[in-house]
A and B are shown apart, each in its own frame.
Chain A
Amino acid sequence: MPRNWILTLLTLAFSISALPAEDPVAQFDAANQAYEVGDYETAIELYRSLENDGHVSAPLYLNLGNAYYQNQQLGHAIATYRAGLRLAPRRQSLVQNLEFVLDESTEASTPPPVYTSFLLRLSLNEWTWLFVLPFLGFSFSLILRRLPACQNWIRPTTAPLGALSVVGLIALIFAEMEWNRDWAVVTGGETTARFGPLAESKRAFTAAETAHLEVVDRKGDWARIINSRNERGWVSIDSIDIYTDRR
């Protein structure tokens, strides 16, 4: 009897995995094929479908960004590359394509502050390990100091490891704050930022397509943003791509 149950479960599992519509790799290949023949809209649709189903990776974001670029949707392309860099911050292909598209966009690319670039150079997990490893070393050095056999060689390591732990902790706190900020890219042409989250609100400023904006608040279909000139306003969420939401 138990053998029958196992067979039934195995058969069911095999059947589910064999469904073509559920195969993300096949869908990825189909999207690549559409891209290669120049059907960029189909490629975008298939890549986005994979992303919405939770099948994400740096190559997916690279390919999707390329498809957006070829479809002349520069804002979406930039947002997609940046979303990919959140997964793999130092992926050379993503960095290169992002720089390429930024160079081509009409909006002057304002480089982010040095500390922001520095903190986003490593992933949040990498910053966590940069704190945790010296901290564990510090913890064990304190414990081993109690053992007479280890006292001589372990004692000089305690203070440096403690100092490294403090520096690592401060860096982790700032990195966590930086990684939790929401960013968006203007898509679909120039957009108007208003003083309030209403279409009737007065115009505050305009943001060109591909402009990089920080999202500081949201209300309904509106997002409060800050641009590189530190101007604040509300824009419709439809006019921007909040790529940090793709986590």
Chain B
Amino acid sequence: MTPPRFSYVRNAFFLWLALNVGAATTSGQPMNDGLSPMRSQQSTRDPAKTLSAELRPSEVTLGQIARLEVYVPGGAPGALDVPSVPGLAIELNSRAQKYEQANGRVLKNGWVFEYLLQARRTGTYNIPSIEWRGQSTEPLQLTVVEPSFDIERLRQSPANPTGNRAFIDLIPERDTVFVGEPFRYTIQIAQVRGVVRDIGNFQFSPQGFTLAPIQPDGFIPRDETHRIGGNDYTIRLLSNETMARAVKAGSLEFGPASVDVEFLVNNRRNSRTFGGLLTGSYKSASIQSDPVTINVKPLPTEGRPEEFNGAIGQFTMTQTVTPKKLGVGDPLTIEIKIGGKGAMDSVRLPKTFDWPDIKTYEPIVDVSYSDAIESQGVARFEIVARPESTDVTEIPAIQFAYFDPRDATYRTLEKPPVAIEVAANSSRNAATEIPNSYSAKNSRNADERLSLTHIQPRPQFLARIPTPLVYNGLFWTIVLAPICAYGTYLGARKAQEVANRDSDAKRQREIQREIDAQLAALEEYAQTGQSTEFFEGLSVAIRQFIGLRLGVTPNALTESVVYEELGQHYEDTEAIESLGELFRLCDAAKFGSGATQHTLSERLTQFREATAALPPLN
């Protein structure tokens, strides 16, 4: 909202400006801004003070609206006198103030009148100059062409599920074609501006037609607006390149095409709440085009050449033969290129040529297209041939016939015979001279002879598909048996060693306990002076001790054994001597010792010291 105070000032300013401009133009003098005399001269070149008109776009389709914008410098211009043009409806759409400034310079300061122009027929419309206060615009020209969209049909179309907010239209290039003849078609969607949010699930698979691949770009918006029933419709086009071919003759229905659209319902776009967008809701619906009937004519049988094998379109042919001098059985290559516009995959040559004394192989075919819908390109044929006689002097003429749907006639292209020289003796090995590309590509029969191993006569069936050994438990049992047996042997041996060690240790512990008990008894004998019992006990203790240390039977010990065996294992000769002395005393005591308590105690101490000096062997 403009404040009232500012509105008053603004209106006063424009009133003053209009009076100034009016005074300047009615006097026939350049508009004087009162700043400098040169300014009036410059005013004709100053865009801010020059009457101008612009037409957008200058070329429209029938039914499409063009916009004419007339810029009037200054303020309060009143009404413009736009001349009428026969066949062209001109309607004032809006009038608005315009002020533009760039780099401190005023570019526009005035009013813009927008007119909507809509033609009733195709053609070129000249819009004369528009006069205003001594200034005039340049004449303009509007070109109106046939629409690519059937506006009239949409205008008359009953309401569809979207309430005529969106239409889909299918337009074939022609309504009469020959079988196999490629023809273009377009599919377009017209939608009320700003109403359709999403388009998807496009369905189009007409029965009896093959379609060239459709580019996956979806529906592309076009800069085109049509006014139908008070609504401005924008156009979306399904790909720029689409092509179809009929596969059978008859009156075939082409279409329909359908698409799902999500559109705004309860649209109150004039509402002041966020442009009305919040007051509407979206709904999905499928819209469908009207089916189009196409009359598909069969290819005429009259005048059909023998060489014709289904090619339709307009073609040219080139041919090269290399080498032209060769030996009998040597291969040569005939390269034929057939290029043009039409159904390129229908361009074929015979599999073999029935030429005398020349053996030919099935051609390699390589088709390259020059557009996305495969409607034009070049088919390259490479034929390998072998002359089998020196009588061969030429490669016979090659003919290619096609049907031209433009004038519904058959045409035959022919290349003249190509002279070659065939020598009697080939200097090359014919079997190795077939070009590599030939042995690798599409030549079934010849390739089979050259590369594909033929089928085998004997089946050599396997009795059964054996389970791989890696999953066979019995196999692994046998494989692991030796190492397991060896491991078992090692384990058993180790266990035996451990058991033996345990047994020795146990026995030694028992003997030690017996020795300890014997020492306690000896202590008692020494205190009570029982010398006979003392020495008997000491003898037993000495034998048990030596038997324990040396691992021998105690009863078999003699004095010499004591010295020899202990001497081998111990270096403490004093302790050995001491034990030997006790051993002798014990033997002597059998015949009566008569030792005192003190002597017995000393002998017991001597025994303890000697045994302590002889630790267990490792």
Contacts and interface: CB of A to CB of B under 8 A. Distances in A.
Interface of A: 24-25, 28, 32, 35-36, 50, 54-60, 62-63, 66-67, 69-70, 87, 92-93, 96-97, 100, 103-104, 123-125, 127-129, 132, 135-136, 138-140, 142-143, 172, 176, 179, 247
Contact of A93 (B441, B453, B461): B453
Contact of B482 (A63, A104, A139, A172): A139
Q: Sorted from nearest, which 8 A-B pairs have the closest CB atoms? A: A59-B456, A93-B453, A139-B482, A63-B455, A139-B483, A28-B459, A124-B468, A128-B469
Given A66-B455, A132-B479, A143-B482, A104 B440 contact: yes
B457 A32 contact: yes
A128 B453 contact: no
A29 B483 CA distance: 50
B451 interface: yes
Given A59-B455, A172-B470, 18 more contacts: A28-B461, A50-B459, A55-B459, A57-B459, A57-B462, A67-B455, A70-B448, A87-B462, A96-B453, A100-B451, A103-B440, A104-B441, A124-B469, A124-B470, A129-B469, A139-B486, A142-B486, A247-B465
Contacts of B461: 24-25, 28, 55-57, 60
A46 B448 CA distance: 22
Q: Which of B441, B455, B468 has the most chain A CB atoms inside 10 A of its CB?
A: B455
B464 interface: yes
A95 to B, nearest CB: 9
Contact of A59 (B441, B447, B459, B482): B459
A136 B486 contact: no
Interface in B450-499: 451-462, 464-466, 468-470, 475, 479, 482-483, 485-486
Contacts of A54: 464-465
B364 to A, nearest CB: 11
B483 A96 contact: no
Most A CB contacts (10 A, CB to CB) among B440, B469, B485 go to B469
A97 B469 contact: no
Given A139-B482, A139-B483, A104 B442 contact: yes
Interface string B47-91: 000000000000000000000000000000000000000000000
A150 B452 CA distance: 56
Interface of B: 440-442, 444, 447-448, 451-462, 464-466, 468-470, 475, 479, 482-483, 485-486
B470 A176 contact: yes
Give the interface centre of A69, A93, A128 by most chain B CB atoms within 10 Å.
A128
B468 A60 contact: no
Q: Is the interface of A mostly helix, strand, loop or mixed?
A: helix
A66 B452 contact: yes
Contacts of A55: 459, 461
Contacts of B441: 104
A176 to B, nearest CB: 6
A94 B61 CA distance: 64
Given A125-B468, A143-B482, A97 B452 contact: yes
Given A70-B444, A136-B479, A142-B486, A35 B455 contact: yes
B213 to A, nearest CB: 11
Contacts of B482: 136, 139-140, 143
Contacts of A70: 444, 448
Nearest to A31: B455
A24 B451 contact: no
A171 B485 CA distance: 26
Of the listed residues A100, A123, A143, the one surrounded by the most CB atoms of chain B closer than 10 A to its CB is: A100
Contacts of A125: 466, 468-470
Contacts of A36: 455
B456 A69 contact: no
Nearest to B468: A124
Contacts of A172: 470
Contact of A25 (B453, B455, B459): B459
Contacts of A24: 459, 461
A108 to B, nearest CB: 14
Nearest to B447: A100
Contacts of A132: 469, 479
A96 B465 contact: no
27 contacts: A24-B461, A32-B457, A35-B455, A55-B459, A56-B462, A57-B461, A60-B461, A62-B453, A63-B455, A66-B455, A87-B462, A87-B465, A92-B453, A93-B453, A96-B453, A97-B452, A104-B447, A124-B468, A125-B470, A128-B469, A135-B479, A138-B483, A139-B486, A140-B482, A142-B486, A172-B470, A179-B468
Contacts of A60: 459, 461
B182 to A, nearest CB: 21
A100 B331 CA distance: 21
Contacts of A58: 460
A24 B444 CA distance: 29
Contacts of A135: 479, 483
A60 B461 CA distance: 8
Nearest to A28: B459
B470 A128 contact: yes
Contacts of B453: 62, 66, 92-93, 96-97
Contacts of A124: 468-470
Contacts of A138: 483
Contacts of B468: 123-125, 128, 179
A55 B464 CA distance: 7
A32 B451 contact: no
Nearest to A43: B455
A57 B479 contact: no
A66 B465 contact: no
Nearest to A247: B465
Contacts of B464: 54
A135 B486 CA distance: 13
B190 to A, nearest CB: 28
Nearest to B470: A128
Contact of B456 (A63, A142, A179): A63
Given A124-B470, A136-B482, A100 B452 contact: yes
A69 B452 contact: yes
Nearest to A176: B470
